Structure 1
Amino acid sequence: MNPIDMFSSAIAFSPDGGVRARERRMDSGDGAWQVATFHVETDADVHADQWEMHPAAEEAVCCLAGGLRIHFRPEAPGGAEETVRIPAGHAVIVPRGRWHRLDLDEPSDVLSITLRQGTRLERRSDA
């Protein structure tokens, strides 16, 4: 029964009801939901040069402190990118399978909750 440093570890919620601390992973492969907290200083810390997509579940992106923006890739060719500002104390639910990326308005603390199984990353062509 020791405290878990959420800025260096993640908490995994397994389908069998187990909960454990573990290393953060981009793709869990084990069916566990991951809760992870990040202190981010720059756009590089949130991989602003990459799109991300979670095919297995929606994702809650929560801004605990600071401020950030989440960008959604157009769903149709030629469509416009959508941007949503997330101030401190607010969250956005990213739909399952929707490509998204983050950038910062200022240094921030971010909480992410999702089932990372099958997560995909793709470099932005305009980065």
Structure 2
Amino acid sequence: MTHPIDMYSSAVRLLPDGRVQDTPRTFEADRPGWFVMAEHAETDADVHADHWEVHPEAEELVFCLRGALRIIICARDREDEYEVAVRGGSAVIVPRGHWHRIELDEPSDLMAFTVLDGTYLAEA
């Protein structure tokens, strides 16, 4: 049966067989498919601005629904850092295997789409 899914408290997985499955907001890498979640962020703490994140198995699409933010991206060796400004209605593709983190310019709503296999966080 179809039901509404609160994307700010749950998430969905886009499965390889074409199904969409609602799932808890746990970052279990051993579950198949693309993980999709939304976040309402008031401060940098809401988007783990003090941590770098990397997804070795897939790119990540970060879609700013409302507000303004910056995605800081650097290569695999964490050298040559650069920023991409993203305003409401725009998205950025973070390349596979590139370290990244988000900083807010104003409160924002965003959605992220990625495969979690091998995802790793490290302090900035």
Aligned mates of 1:56, 1:75 — CA distance in 2: 13
Normalising by structure 1, we get a TM-score of 0.90
Q: 1:59 maps to what in 2? A: 60
Structure 1 stretch 100-109 or stretch 68-77: which is displaced more? 68-77
Q: Which amino acid letter does the alignment assign opposite residue 19 of structure 2?
A: G
Q: Which amino acid letter does the alignment assign opposite residue 51 of structure 2?
A: Q
Structure 2 gap segments, 5+ residues each? none
Alignment of structure 1 residues 31-42 onto 2, 5 Å: 31-42=32-43
**Residues 69 and 105, structure 1, Cα contact 8 Å, conserved in 2:** yes
Aligned mates of 2:76, 2:119 — CA distance in 1: 18
Give the superposed CA RMSD: 1.4
Distance 1:76 1:7, change over 3 A: closer
Structure 1 gap segments, 5+ residues each? none
Alignment of structure 1 residues 63-78 onto 2, 5 Å: 63-75=64-76
| Aligned residue pair count | 123
- The secondary structure found in structure 2 opposite 1:34 is strand
Aligned mates of 2:35, 2:7 — CA distance in 1: 11
Aligned mates of 1:52, 1:69 — CA distance in 2: 14
Aligned mates of 2:77, 2:38 — CA distance in 1: 32
Which string of whole-angstrom CA distances, capped at 9 and with x for unpartnered residues, describes residues 51-73 of structure 1? 00001100000000000000012
Normalising by structure 2, we get a TM-score of 0.92
Which string of whole-angstrom CA distances, capped at 9 and with x for unpartnered residues, describes residues 50-109 of structure 1? 0000011000000000000000125557x4320010001000000000000001000000
Distance 1:75 1:14, change over 3 A: closer
Q: 1:88 maps to what in 2? A: 88
- The secondary structure found in structure 2 opposite 1:109 is strand
Structure 1 residue runs of 4 or more that deviate by more than 3 Å after TM superposition: 74-77
Which string of whole-angstrom CA distances, capped at 9 and with x for unpartnered residues, describes residues 6-25 of structure 1? 11110111223221111123
